[in-house]
Structure 1
Amino acid sequence: MEDIKRKDLKEESYYQDGEYMLEPVPLDARRSTRSQFMVWIGFGYAVTGLIVGGNLAGYGGTDGMPFWPAFWAIVLGMGALYVMTSFLGVAAQKTGYNLALLSRFSYGSKGAIIPLAIMSILTLGWFASIAGMVGEVWSEWIGNPSGITVIDPAKFGMEGVDPISLEEFLACAIFGLIFTYTAVRGMSAIEKVATVFSPLILIVAVIAGIVFLHNCGGIGAFNSEADKLSGMGIGNGITIVVGSWIAGAIMGVDMFRFNKSVKAVWLCAAACFILTNPILNFVGYIGVVATGEFNYVFWMIASGVLLAILGVVVWTTALWTTDNSELYCNALYTGPALDAMGFRAKRKTIVIIVGILGTILGAAAFYQLFFADFINALGAIAPPLAAPILADFFVVGREKKYNADFLNRQPAVRWAGIISFIVGAVIGYVFQYVTTLPYGLPSGLFALIVSFVLYILIYKITPDAKKDKELVAENK
């Protein structure tokens, strides 16, 4: 018995770096609501908000939609994300568990590898994409004085995509490594970056939207242009909005576990899904209708040196906070997934390796070549990942089975979680890429609801219910 205890202590010491990768966050390690609020403002500021708004306005070859349908697509999509993120956050705040630990109760100790592996891939793709976004803006500013092209997307059949210059390649590589360094430092470093730059981020975005409206000739002229758009249904618009942030919604678990109260969870989620991201959606929409371009930084670069410097600095620092969170959370998925397979890896080691890999992918034009397909697939397939966790914590388990003593006593596989997710993911794919839902309903959210209900229905006919009953009875 003493040997076992020494082994457990050794394991805990190996993984412990203050970020609680394989254990719940204790109450005395929780962070202030103000600092977490700033993290969520910075986390919510990603170029995807502008891109999505632009897509709703017809940017990138989409059909687009008039302003009021776009308005409701943003409100309903972000509202759904807010509710989903908040409920996941409540589960994380009450238990102190990250996604890896919560998933054990609905997917099993080995089955949790499924959501963790998927989230590892998604956050890697996001890190690479955001690094590419930063490189693109710096390239727009400094140009291509070297005259060297590193990658030409046209050679891969991607006509119309700008070549990747040496300057863009280097900017992406340099900032990818900077983002990796701060992610290695953990949550405290993320908070410091967010606290300094988050207020400025919001101010610049709002001013840009106002300028776009003015340049368009005012609200009346803007509405006239927006009314010319048609073709995209509101359901498809909602799926695009949800897809832009579903990975972030699920990632929220790993940050909400540091919150001191449930009220802080709802407040921090609002910072992202009610404040920051909807503003960016609307600014992106206004930008495309008014100027044909969603990225206001390009306008700032063309409007003089001072505005160019301000735009590039704000853009870089804003995406810094987002990319920090992507990489930070990636380690919290990859590490426990490897641990479940019998491999040990420290969080900092994972951050460094994944950060370097993501930087390489970003510099190699992942954003330019694959981002659009990446977003659409996310919106359809990823939402059901959260359904088993929500159904188990709030309906089936009702929190009583989430005792920390049960963390390492979960069955290898919980079939209710695995089956309900797979069915939901297939449904999401079919209704996004094969056929459409009646009344233009959003495929991703429909798939999440199906997975949620299915989990509840099949839970009691699987061994999961019996195992939980035994565990809870032992704790009485």
Structure 2
Amino acid sequence: MTLHEPMQDDERGAATVAGLVERRSIDVIPDSERHGRAAGQFTLWLGANLQITAVVTGALAVVFGAGALWAVLGLLVGNVLGGAVMALHAAQGPRLGLPQMISSRAQFGVRGAVVPLLLVVVMYTGFFASGTVLAGQAVGRLTRLGDTAGIVVFAAVTAVTAVCGYRMVHALGRIASGVGALAFAYLGVRLLERTDVGALLAHHTFSAPLFLLSVSLSASWQLAFGPYVADYSRYLPRQTSARAVFWWTLGGTGLGAQWSMTFGALAAAGAGGAFSGHEVGYVVGLGGGGTVPAGALYLVIALGKLTVNVLNTYGGFMSLATGVSGFRGGRTVSPRARAGYVALVMVAGTVIALLGKDSFLSSFADFLIFLLTFFTPWSAINLVDFYWVSRERYDLPALCDPHGRYGGWRWRTLLVYAVGVAAQLPFLSSSFYTGPLVAPLGGADVSWLVGLVLPALLYGVWAPAARAAGSDLPRVSDPAV
């Protein structure tokens, strides 16, 4: 079977449960199965960002010392910059019809791609865990089972939903975007009633390091979506406008994240210690005293987290399957293997959530910075290759052949990636490590800028030879591919 051939009828029947479970996984989506519109990316990413973890991320900018005004502006800059990079990845989905990380084989080699893939799985598991802590609190209080039972229940529901796949994910996005928009509008009104926002924004003291910290928090949030964003646009028709996919994705993720993060920053600035460490309780207390009962707000929090946690679980399954197939071969995943991969992500994330639920806020901040360090170089390499070096010319069957055009390991790319990671360390500021160049910059963390620019330049310098080697290939937007 080639990468383009559809599965046989017996495979379809085995992979389908009453038409509910997605048949495809890491194989190319045939043109006959493409569907949807670019506008669907807006609701998916709006729903994925209108949720409690984004609120916490916005609050961190204030918790770490930034004033409300500059925190909100810094978060806006980071959401625009990081969201633009993330949206460029989304535009790859309709062209390739493949999960995001399998395209890394064109840069890193069929087997060499396992290096960023392993880190991506760590990312998915970490975000699953952090989201499950907050959602588990909501489920535990909604059901009166307690936080621990709430975490386990929420994780199980996430896994079952992720097994269903692509259509279920987008359906959740549509529901979560509508419910989340209504809930956050209501919570915003309640916040304005309780807090003198004008007074909070009147403090204009500017600190460059704290402003850059705010930018880094939101930029890292957006960049962390990059390794799986094309997973959710790969079913779009091949000829879908790349500009439309870019703008609908950026609009949804930018608006959703900025809305949630602004709410979090203002809530943290107004509530102080009453917010930090008690995020779910504060949000419910803020809104539950009005016309909306507390139970409804707990349900909204759980729904928002369910949407993004399904993304993390589904992406984790895709990444594990991609990594394994690079060594074992194979282009399809059986229903049993699919369930096994999903269960592995769920169990690992749940264990981390249960162990770390009492020290979540500080651990999450460090995790965000960790992610930014390792994924900006990958993002830079992947985007430069797709848009500049290869210019959408890929040998799709060779992505599954370690002896083909892309080889098993592309050591030069791996070296560029390692240099990109290492170059960030002198500029990195975190609780467990602070680079020597942070203090001369006034404490500002600019590591993510270094991680984007340097690998892009290095890869762009040596890789044009690869463009010439692949000039015989048609563009992947050609329906004949």
Q: Is TM more than 0.5 here?
A: yes
DSSP-derived class of the 1:300 partner = helix
* Residues 23 and 101 in structure 1, CA contact (< 8 A), matched pair in contact too: no
Cα separation, partners in 2 of 1:466 and 1:270, compared to 1, 3 Å: closer
Greater CA deviation, 99-108 or 27-36? 27-36
2:477 alignment counterpart: none
Work out which of the residue numbers 41, 44, 47 in structure 2 matches 1:39.
44
* Alpha-carbon RMSD: 3.3
The alpha-carbon deviation at position 264 of structure 1 amounts to: 4.2
1:194 and 1:125 mapped to 2: Cα distance?
21
**Within-5 A mapping of 1:17-56:** 18=22, 20-33=24-37, 34-56=39-61
Work out which of the residue numbers 208, 213, 219 in structure 1 matches 2:187.
208
The alpha-carbon deviation at position 304 of structure 1 amounts to: 4.0
1:193 alignment counterpart: 172
Q: Which runs of 5+ in 1 are unaligned?
A: 144-165
Work out which of the residue numbers 259, 262, 275 in structure 1 matches 2:236.
259
* TM-score normalised according to structure 1 size: 0.83
2:420 alignment counterpart: 424
The alpha-carbon deviation at position 313 of structure 1 amounts to: 0.6
The alpha-carbon deviation at position 238 of structure 1 amounts to: 1.3
* TM-score normalised according to structure 2 size: 0.82
The alpha-carbon deviation at position 471 of structure 1 amounts to: 6.8
**Within-5 A mapping of 1:321-400:** 321-342=307-328, 346-365=337-356, 368-369=359-360, 370-400=363-393
**Within-5 A mapping of 1:120-269:** 120-139=121-140, 167-217=146-196, 219-224=197-202, 226-227=203-204, 232-260=209-237, 261=240, 262-269=242-249
Cα separation, partners in 2 of 1:212 and 1:122, compared to 1, 3 Å: same
DSSP-derived class of the 1:233 partner = helix
1:52 and 1:378 mapped to 2: Cα distance?
14
The alpha-carbon deviation at position 442 of structure 1 amounts to: 2.6
Structure with higher helix content: 1
The alpha-carbon deviation at position 242 of structure 1 amounts to: 1.6
2:299 and 2:356 mapped to 1: Cα distance?
22
2:262 alignment counterpart: 282
Render the CA deviation track for 1:388-446: whole Å, top value 9, x for unaligned: 1111111111122x132433322112234212211111122331131328584631132
Q: Which runs of 5+ in 2 are unaligned?
A: 17-21, 429-433, 475-479
Q: May I ask how many residue pairs the two structures share in their alignment?
A: 440
Cα separation, partners in 2 of 1:460 and 1:395, compared to 1, 3 Å: closer
1:235 and 1:63 mapped to 2: Cα distance?
12
Cα separation, partners in 2 of 1:89 and 1:51, compared to 1, 3 Å: same
The alpha-carbon deviation at position 123 of structure 1 amounts to: 0.2
Cα separation, partners in 2 of 1:31 and 1:247, compared to 1, 3 Å: farther
DSSP-derived class of the 1:24 partner = coil
The alpha-carbon deviation at position 184 of structure 1 amounts to: 0.6
2:213 and 2:303 mapped to 1: Cα distance?
31
Render the CA deviation track for 1:357-396: whole Å, top value 9, x for unaligned: 3223223335735323211211233211111111111111
The alpha-carbon deviation at position 181 of structure 1 amounts to: 0.5
1:454 and 1:350 mapped to 2: Cα distance?
35
1:85 alignment counterpart: 86
Cα separation, partners in 2 of 1:442 and 1:170, compared to 1, 3 Å: same
2:250 alignment counterpart: 270
